[in-house]
Amino acid sequence: EEEEEEGLGLLSEPLTDGQRQELDLCMARVDNILVGKYKKAQLVSVQSNSGTMAPGKQLWTKAKELAKSMPKQLTELGPFELGSVSLEAIGFVKEMATPQYSISLDATPLACLSAYPTLGRYGCISPWDAITLEGGARERAGIPRDATFFAWAFPLPGIADIEDAAELLKAATPAELNGLSFVINGGFIYANNGFLPVAINAVVGLKAFYRGTSAKPLPAMTLPFDGPHKLPPAMRAKLESGNRFMGPTLPQMIKDGITGFTWVEPSDGGLKDHQSVDWRTGGFVYVYDDRRLDCFFRVSKE
Q: Determine the average pLDDT of the residues in 243-251.
A: 84
Q: Which residues of 250-260 are buried (b: 16+ CB within 10 A; e: fewer)?
A: bbbbeebbbbb
Q: Tell me which range, 42-46, 62-66, 114-118, 193-197, is most confidently predicted by mean pLDDT.
A: 193-197
Instruction: Measure the CA–CA gap between 123 and 211, rounded to whole angstroms.
Output: 25
pTM: 0.71
| 291 residue type, one letter | R
Distance CA 222, CA 83 (A): 9
Q: Rounded CA gap, 162 and 7, in Å?
A: 36
Question: Does the pLDDT at position 120 exceed 90?
Answer: no
Q: What is the pLDDT of residues 256-278, one digit of tens each?
A: 899 999 999 887 755 555 555 66
Handedness of CA 216, 219, 221, 226 (dihedral sign): positive
**Over the chain, what is the mean pLDDT?**
77
How far is residue 253 CA from its own chain's centroid? 6
The answer to whether 189 and 197 are in contact (CB under 8 A) is: yes
CA separation for the pair 85, 206 (Å, rounded): 16
Strand ranges of the sheet holding 122-124, from the earlier edge strand across to the other edge: 93-94, 100-102, 122-124
**pLDDT tens-digit profile of 127-175?**
899 998 888 888 988 999 999 999 999 998 888 788 787 788 888 888 8
